[in-house]
């Protein structure tokens, strides 16, 4: 029997971070939260989540830099989905080399669909 | 044979006393011809006349005009020929074309009545005055002489009042045409002139005619010189005026010749290129390419054929073409709007071009700042909207025993957040039109795939409203900016859904046509149409539908919010792609919006092989 899927949410906006973690928690995911890329990398020393939901614009370490370092250190150990307000989300996602993207603002259904789809990729792939 | 020189000052007309003496030349060399000499030796009349002719030629040669020396010359001739009266008549044409003659100069001998003030001798007709016979000879260049008793009746009537008993008239031919005549009267005896004398008189006529011709040429030359001087002055003054105007206006002005060399540039031009002096810009066009990179507003390099003044050398007038200049020396980017026109001579032949440019850098930079502000503000709004929306939805999902009223309130928060998001989208859409220096990021894109994506996104928002897509199996690739075309598709389909609240199909149709509409009538096009069976657009609103901030359904049951910039933005985007956009609509039946994008020849062959999603 497999444990509950593990998601790491990285966002410098405390309210949005709380919204996403609460939502996923209520859906039965195991959720960790970090307020920037550096904090997220620290958390990742112990355990690799199935999915990382990553904000783009953050102080200390932004999404681009985080992805670069994560890939260097852990390769594709976790899938990464960008949660972004950028107008050209698709383009940035491609440029950074992440697995998917979710545009802000989003419906909770869209959030849950995206997470479920990505986690399935991990579990089935 | 003796040669005679004239000494002393001759009398002028009216002076009755002559101080002229004729002196034979002394044989010894070195002796002054004008010095005192022995008593005058008699000479023949013809010789005396010839001496006077020589005097006349020297007098006329040393003088600028006939007028100044004519009186002296006539006196000299009159004395030498021992005539009673010597005179000069000039021909002139009456307004009706009749030939008239007027006395211009006269000398009279002692005791002879002058006729210079005789009104009958002004503007007299040859035939009417009795000189019809004379005219025939004179006009043919022949000398005419008459003496009593051989005068015709007419000649006698003419001569008698002036007590003339004989006259000889010598024609004056100027520039090979008959100008007038010089005449010699005798009032004492009906004199008979010897052949030698008449030859001498003809020589006198020849000298006088030559002098008149020379004087006339001189005055003509002088007139031309004066005219040239006044033209030159006027041109110089005008040039100075224009130079002052051109150097004081803010705009840049260049003039190019047919070799594409700049022959004039003003201060404004040197400001644009950051040069100290306008003269530094007097160089061939191709050297400008070393001063600056010349690009269009989207930053694409401009070829010689696209550069306005070069186009004008081919005859084209260019109005307000936007250009970017990257000045190498100062590493500054400038934006200008340039107009140019050919310069033509009177026959319409182009011999140059003038170009005028306005520096709009500040305006463009201000525009960019404004767009940047809008983009940043819109971007920053997205996260708080996501939080509002997300928590409203989370409470709706998770709270147990919500009352219907509480549920409505939470849904209103969610909808409010959606409306803010719509405004944010609109703002981003407008600011994107001119973002990044008006640059479209074009790629070969598959319109059908793009439509599938957009329809998919809208399906999440309006799950109850399916959108039909009809597209050929192999849809052509167009060179376009996919994000912006996606915005257009999104706006058109979203409108179609919103303005057909009763339902009814929304259909998106994609097809290629051999030629397009309007400006695309010579190009293959891909056409996209979006149809609904909705409320339609009232006739009165149709004209304004593409205006920014215009919302046809404001304060009607179909008002769904938004800023009214979706269609405006869409039109701008399509036009930037060189396409056409229009619509057909009828109230109560629905609307169809169309747009067409040009297809190059290449696009036709490289159709999409990618599958539909």
Query: Whole-angstrom distance between the N-terminal and C-terminal Cα of chain B?
Result: 128
**Which range among B422-436, B541-555, B565-579 has the greatest average pLDDT?**
B565-579
- Pick from B375, B389, B394: which is nearest to A105 by CB? B389
pLDDT in tens, A83-104: 998 877 888 888 888 999 999 9
In chain B, what are the helix, strand and coil shares in percent, each to the nearest 5?
45, 25, 30
| Mean pLDDT, rounded, for B50-75 | 86
Q: Do B393 and A107 touch (CB under 8 A)?
A: yes
Residue B399 touches chain A, beta carbons under 8 Å: no
Distance CA B488, CA B567 (A): 8
At CA B28, angle to CA B26 and CA B30, rounded to 5? 105
Q: Do B390 and A106 touch (CB under 8 A)?
A: yes
For an interface test with B, the pick among A28, A108, A113, A115 (most B C-beta atoms closer than 10 Å) comes out as: A108
Distance from CA of A114 to the nearest CA of B (A): 13
| Mean pLDDT, rounded, for A25-36 | 94
Q: Pairing mode, if any, of strands B580-586 and B506-513?
A: unpaired
Q: Do B394 and A107 touch (CB under 8 A)?
A: no
Q: Which ranges in chain A belong to alpha helices (H)? A: 14-26, 37-43, 63-74, 89-96, 108-124
Residue B31 pLDDT: 42
| Mean pLDDT, rounded, for B499-528 | 88
Label residue B488 exposed, middle or buried (CB < 10 Å: 0-12, 13-18, 19+): buried
Percent of chain B whose pLDDT exceeds 90: 43
pTM: 0.55
| CB neighbour list of residue B281: distance below 8 Å, 6 or more residues apart | B254, B262, B265, B269, B270, B273, B275
**Which residues 14-33 of A are in CB contact (within 8 Å) with B?**
15-16, 19-20, 22-23, 26
| Mean pLDDT, rounded, for A49-77 | 90
| Mean pLDDT, rounded, for B25-31 | 45
Sign, CA torsion B345/B348/B352/B358: positive
Over 70: is that where the pLDDT of B338 sits? yes
Distance from CA of A13 to the nearest CA of B (A): 8
Q: Do B394 and A110 touch (CB under 8 A)?
A: no
Residue B377 touches chain A, beta carbons under 8 Å: no
Contacts of A19 in chain B (CB under 8 A): 386-387, 390-391, 394
Contacts of B387 in chain A (CB under 8 A): 13, 15-16, 19
Q: Report whether B569 contacts B546 (CB < 8 A).
A: no
SS (H, E, C) B193-245: CCHHHHHHHHHHHHHHHHHHHHHHHHHHHHHHHHHHHHHHHHHHHHHHHHHHH
Q: Do A105 and B398 touch (CB under 8 A)?
A: no
pLDDT in tens, B569-607: 899 889 888 899 999 999 989 999 999 999 875 544 444
Contacts of A105 in chain B (CB under 8 A): 382-383, 385-386, 388-390, 417, 421
Q: Do A108 and B393 touch (CB under 8 A)?
A: yes
Over 90: is that where the pLDDT of B7 sits? no
Over 90: is that where the pLDDT of B436 sits? no
**What's the Rg (C-alpha) of chain B?**
50
From A69-73, B39-43, B502-506, the region with the lowest mean pLDDT: B39-43
CA distances from B253 to B289, B309, B354 (A): 18, 11, 7
pLDDT in tens, B164-192: 999 999 999 998 899 999 999 999 989 99
* Residue B558 confidence class, pLDDT cut points 50, 70, 90: low
Residue A29 pLDDT: 95
Q: Report whether B463 contacts B325 (CB < 8 A).
A: no
**Chains A, B: CB pairs < 8 Å:** 57
pLDDT in tens, B339-370: 999 999 999 999 999 999 999 999 888 888 88
Residue B415 touches chain A, beta carbons under 8 Å: no
Q: Report whether A10 contacts A42 (CB < 8 A).
A: no
Contacts of A25 in chain B (CB under 8 A): none
Residue B441 pLDDT: 78
Over 60: is that where the pLDDT of B311 sits? yes
B600: tokens are: 């190059």
Over 90: is that where the pLDDT of B387 sits? yes
Distance CA B184, CA B293 (A): 86
Q: Give B477's Cβ-side CA count (13 Å radius).
A: 13
Over 60: is that where the pLDDT of B8 sits? no
Residue A2 pLDDT: 60
From A14-23, B39-48, B416-425, B458-467, the region with the lowest mean pLDDT: B39-48
Over 50: is that where the pLDDT of B39 sits? no
Phi, psi (deg, nearest 5) at residue B20: -85, 135
Percent of chain B whose pLDDT exceeds 70: 88
From B136-145, B245-254, B466-475, the region with the lowest mean pLDDT: B466-475
Q: Report whether B425 contacts B407 (CB < 8 A).
A: no
Q: Do A87 and B390 touch (CB under 8 A)?
A: no
Burial per residue of B525-548, b for 16 or more beta-carbon CB atoms within 10 angstroms, e otherwise:
bbbbbbbbbbbbbeeebeeebbee
Residue B19 pLDDT: 45
What's the count of helices (H) and strands (E) in chain B, helices before strands? Answer: 17, 21
pLDDT in tens, B75-134: 999 999 999 999 999 999 988 888 999 999 999 998 898 999 999 899 999 888 888 889
């Amino acid at each position: 029997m497999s444990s509950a899927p593990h998601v790491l949410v990285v966002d410098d906006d405390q309210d949005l971070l709380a919204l996403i973690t609460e939502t996923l928690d209520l859906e039965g995911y195991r959720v960790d939260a970090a307020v920037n890329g550096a904090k997220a990398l620290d958390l990742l020393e112990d355990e690799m989540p199935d999915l990382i939901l990553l904000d783009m614009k953050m102080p200390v370490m932004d999404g681009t830099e985080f992805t670069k370092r994560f890939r260097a250190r852990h390769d594709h150990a976790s899938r990464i989905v960008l949660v972004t307000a950028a107008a050209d989300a698709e383009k940035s996602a491609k440029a950074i080399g992440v697995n998917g993207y979710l545009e802000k603002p989003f419906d909770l259904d869209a959030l849950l669909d995206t997470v479920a789809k990505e986690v399935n990729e991990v579990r089935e792939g | 044979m003796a040669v005679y020189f004239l000494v002393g000052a001759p009398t002028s007309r009216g002076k009755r006393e002559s101080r002229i003496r004729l002196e034979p030349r002394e044989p010894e060399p070195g002796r002054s011809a004008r010095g005192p000499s022995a008593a005058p030796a008699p000479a023949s009349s013809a010789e005396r006349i010839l001496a006077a002719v020589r005097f006349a030629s020297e007098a006329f040669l040393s003088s600028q005009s006939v007028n100044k020396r004519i009186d002296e010359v006539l006196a000299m001739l009159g004395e030498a020929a021992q005539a009673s009266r010597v005179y000069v008549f000039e021909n002139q044409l009456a307004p009706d074309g009749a030939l008239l003659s007027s006395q211009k100069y006269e000398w009279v001998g002692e005791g002879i009545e002058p006729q210079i003030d005789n009104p009958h001798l002004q503007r007299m007709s040859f035939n009417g005055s009795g000189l019809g016979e004379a005219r025939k000879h004179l006009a043919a260049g022949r000398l005419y002489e008459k003496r009593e008793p051989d005068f015709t009746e007419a000649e006698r009537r003419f001569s008698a009042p002036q007590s003339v008993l004989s006259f000889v008239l010598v024609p004056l031919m100027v520039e090979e045409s008959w100008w007038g005549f010089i005449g010699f009267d005798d009032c004492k005896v009906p004199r008979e002139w010897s052949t030698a004398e008449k030859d001498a008189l003809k020589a006198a006529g020849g000298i006088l005619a030559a002098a008149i011709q020379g004087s006339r040429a001189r005055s003509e030359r002088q007139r031309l010189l004066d005219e040239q001087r006044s033209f030159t002055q006027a041109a110089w003054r005008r040039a100075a005026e224009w130079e002052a105007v051109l150097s004081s206006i803010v705009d840049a002005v260049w003039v190019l010749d047919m070799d594409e060399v700049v022959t004039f540039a003003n201060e404004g031009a040197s400001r644009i290129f950051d040069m100290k002096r306008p003269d530094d810009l007097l160089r061939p066009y191709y050297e400008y390419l070393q001063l600056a990179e010349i690009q269009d507003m989207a930053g694409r390099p401009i070829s010689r054929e696209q550069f306005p003044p070069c186009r004008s050398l081919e005859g084209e007038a260019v109005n307000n073409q936007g250009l970017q200049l990257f000045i190498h020396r100062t590493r500054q980017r400038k934006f200008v709007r340039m107009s140019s026109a050919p310069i033509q001579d009177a026959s319409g032949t182009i011999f140059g071009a003038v170009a005028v440019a306005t520096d709009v850098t500040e305006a463009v930079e201000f525009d960019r700042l404004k767009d940047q502000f809008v983009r940043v503000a819109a971007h920053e709004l997205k996260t708080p909207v996501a939080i509002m929306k997300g928590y409203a939805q989370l409470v709706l999902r998770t709270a147990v025993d919500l009352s219907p009223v509480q549920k409505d309130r939470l849904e209103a928060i969610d909808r409010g957040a959606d409306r803010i998001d719509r405004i944010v989208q609109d703002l981003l859409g407008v600011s994107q039109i001119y973002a990044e220096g008006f640059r479209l990021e074009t790629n070969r894109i598959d319109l059908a795939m793009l439509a599938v994506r957009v329809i998919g996104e809208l399906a999440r928002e309006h799950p109850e409203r399916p959108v039909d897509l009809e597209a050929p199996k192999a849809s052509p690739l167009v060179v376009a900016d996919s994000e912006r075309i996606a915005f257009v598709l999104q706006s058109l389909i979203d409108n179609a859904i919103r303005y057909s609240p009763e339902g009814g199909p929304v259909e998106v149709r994609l097809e290629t046509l051999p030629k397009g509409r309007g400006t695309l009538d010579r190009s293959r096009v891909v056409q996209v149409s979006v149809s609904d069976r909705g409320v339609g657009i009232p006739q009165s609103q149709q004209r304004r539908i593409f205006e920014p901030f215009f919302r046809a359904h404001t304060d009607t049951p179909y008002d769904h919010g938004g800023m009214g910039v979706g269609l405006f933005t869409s039109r701008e985007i399509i036009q930037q792609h060189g396409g056409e956009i229009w619509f057909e609509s009828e109230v109560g039946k629905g609307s169809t919006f169309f747009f067409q994008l040009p297809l190059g020849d290449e696009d036709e062959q490289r159709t999409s092989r990618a599958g539909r999603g």
